[in-house]
Amino acid sequence: MTAEVVELLRTLIRNACVNDGSIGSGHEVRSADALEAYLAGSGLAIERYSAAPGRVSLLTRIEGPDRRAPTLLLLGHTDVVPAESGRWRHDPFAADVEDGLVWGRGAIDMLNLTATMAVACRRLAADGFRPAGTLIFAAVADEEAAGTHGVAHLLDHHADAIRADYVITEAGGVPVPSREGPLLPLTVGEKGVSWRRLTVRGTAGHGALPFGADNALVTAAVVVQRLAAYRSPARILDVWRRTVEALDLHPLITAALTDPDRVLDAATWLHSPGLARVVHACTHTTLSPNVVRGGTNVNVIPDRVVIEVDVRTLPGVTAADVDAMLTDALGDLADRVEISAPDFGEGSMSPTETPLHDALTRTVTALVPGSRLVPQLAPGATDARHFRWRGIPAYGFGLHSARIPYTEYPLMFHGDNERIDVESLRLSCLLWERLARDFLA
Ligand SMILES: [Zn+2]
């Protein structure tokens, strides 16, 4: 089983389905073909859905007869973000295996899980698994952009094919040590994505006459400073409280991390810039000015500069709330700036009181004795949100060994030197297989 997952993962990495956000990128058809070839001969029928040339998503299912039994969708994506090979210790698309690690773009996000889901389905089918409910495996395109040519296309145009009662996709399950045994984070919700375009106006003029000029770039520089300095009020969500309380930290630290007035101070006590960022992101709606465009010639004072801001909202924060925060951040410059909203996707949460959560708990504690599931909010976005918006519980999970530390794991998403250990692949594969047997029996 382990060798099979490793080989399939290496194939998916080498296929290099790099999604740069343009419709002509991705080429996920390569990995749809590879998965179809891998599943051939197992008796599983393959469904292929194409949203645009090359943007192919693959589905397969083991259908049960009981209409009252649940349908579980194991949702993987086959696209990856670009990789800058000069900064990697191994070629990001060579899929080198060394010392029990598979290296490459997508090894964590999320070709590892996609490969383990495929292998588990093939094994279940080969074993003649006959559930009461239905198991669906989907390997979709375009997760790394908005899902337009992947999951959103399926939900809008092939709703019957992808209809499910529960969904599991990336990411979670990297053990966090605690006094009472390993904690396994289960992603139950994620922040919203709300991109804003700020247009700063000025008055054009000659670059040789700058005194007292109304230079849009100079105003934009102040705007960027204010956005960076802005702190939205902290909000302690129930899911954050549950995450922190499960960590068994010193009671004073737990109290501070769950107090909106002290949470940012407490974040610095952790002595880890990575963890401090997570603490901040899980308790605040964040603004990050990331793109600026403006100016034409070096001798012309610009009259227009555009700033693009990545706003990530806590669940419950609306588009109107975001506009109010931006106006607040801009202060007396607000009337110099025109705000447009190319995109708004609300944050999303799933309940933890579900039969799937119970089945996961049973399966996971059998595989990793002494472990506990702990709910978490993800700062980034995944395809799970499309299901949560439709009221379908969706979790992010996988089962990992302790080989890759939980402090390093989040940095590998879209980062350099992405890699996964072979034991984690084996564990996730076993998880899907046993979960299906428990939950869909
Ligand atoms: Zn991903």
- Active-site pick, 28, 109, 143, 170: 143
**Helix, strand and coil in the chain, % to nearest 5:** 35, 20, 40
How many angstroms is it from 382 CA to the middle of ligand 1?
Answer: 6
Q: Could you report the per-residue pLDDT of 11-46, keeping only the tens digit for each?
A: 999 999 999 999 999 999 999 999 999 999 999 999
pLDDT attached to residue 85: 86
User: Which tokens go with 314?
Assistant: 């806590």
Q: Specify the range with the lowest mean pLDDT, choosing from 27-31, 101-105, 146-150.
A: 146-150
As given in the structure block, the two tokens for residue 28 are 């996920």
Task: Please write the tens of the pLDDT for every residue from 356-380.
Answer: 999 999 999 999 999 999 999 999 9
Please give the pLDDT value at position 261.
97
pLDDT the model gives residue 171: 92
pLDDT above 90: residue 318: yes
The predicted-structure confidence for 162-217, as pLDDT tens digits, reads as follows 999 999 999 999 999 988 899 999 999 999 999 999 999 999 999 999 999 999 99
**Confidence tier at 406 by pLDDT (50, 70, 90):** confident
Residue scoring higher pLDDT (85 or 418)? 418
Is the pLDDT confidence value at 343 over 80? no
- Ligand 1 centre and the CA of 117: distance in Å? 14
Q: Mean pLDDT check: name the lowest of 29-33, 134-138, 266-270.
A: 266-270
| Confidence band, pLDDT 50/70/90 cuts, at residue 409 | confident
Report percent pLDDT > 70 for the chain. 100
Angle at 112 between CA 108 and CA 115, to 5 degrees: 160
How many angstroms does the Cα of residue 214 sit away from the middle of ligand 1?
44
Separation between Cα atoms, residue 279 and residue 282, nearest integer Å: 5
The C-alpha atoms of residue 211 and residue 213 are separated, in whole angstroms, by 5
Give residue 170 CA to ligand 1 midpoint distance, Å.
Answer: 6
Tens of pLDDT, residues 75-102: 999 999 999 889 999 999 999 999 999 9
For domain 2-187+347-439, the CATH architecture is 3-Layer(aba) Sandwich (3.40)
**CATH tag, 193-340:** 3.30.70.360
In this prediction, residue 93 carries a pLDDT of 98
On the question of a common fold for 2-187+347-439 and 193-340, the answer reads: no
Rounded to a whole number, what is the distance in angstroms from the first to the last CA of the chain?
Answer: 22
CA atoms of 422 and 49, how far apart (whole Å): 31
127 included as an active-site residue: no
What is the average pLDDT score of the chain?
Answer: 96
Would you list the domain boundaries of the chain? 2-187+347-439, 193-340
- Asked if residue 118 has pLDDT above 90, the reply is yes
For ligand 1, the distance from its centroid to the CA atom of residue 119, given in whole angstroms, is 19
CA angle 7, 12, 14 (to 5 degrees): 95
**pLDDT, tens digit, for every residue of 228-252?**
999 999 999 999 999 999 988 899 9
Residue 287: pLDDT over 80: yes
pLDDT band at 408 (very low <50, low <70, confident <90, very high): confident
SS3 336: helix
Q: Is the pLDDT of residue 435 over 90?
A: yes
Strand 71-77 with 134-140, pairing: parallel
79 is catalytic: yes
List 79, 144, 170, 383, catalytic entry: 79
